[in-house]
Amino acid sequence: MQIVKVLEEILWSKIGTKQEYHAEYGKKPLAEFVREIVGLDMNAAKNAFAEYLDGNPQSDRTGQCERFGGIKNRLTDMRD
């Protein structure tokens, strides 16, 4: 995952080191750490998306659901 590599570069060479990260956060995956910082809650995201669809009945629901599913899956994959 390219985005994780970019985050590692920033966190482990410009802000601190990989050893400092692991000393502070243990084996916590970087993607999980980032989600905690930005406050991403998957249930909140699903609820917000459902509200969006309810408020936009003319939207391309199939396309929107596919895009949301792709984003959700990508974030889930980043947990490892």
pLDDT in tens, the chain (80 residues): 587 788 788 888 888 888 988 888 888 888 777 777 766 667 777 777 777 777 776 666 777 777 777 776 666 565 54
DSSP 20-42: HHHHHHTT--HHHHHHHHHT--H
Per-domain residue ranges of the chain: 1-28, 40-80
What does the pLDDT read at residue 66? Answer: 76
The SS3 of residue 6 is helix
Angle between helices 2-9 and 30-38 (to 10 degrees): 80
Provide the whole-model pTM: 0.45
Q: Could you tell me which residues come within 8 angstroms of residue 2 by beta carbon, excluding any fewer than 6 positions away?
A: none
Query: Which one-letter amino acid corresponds to residue 37?
Result: I
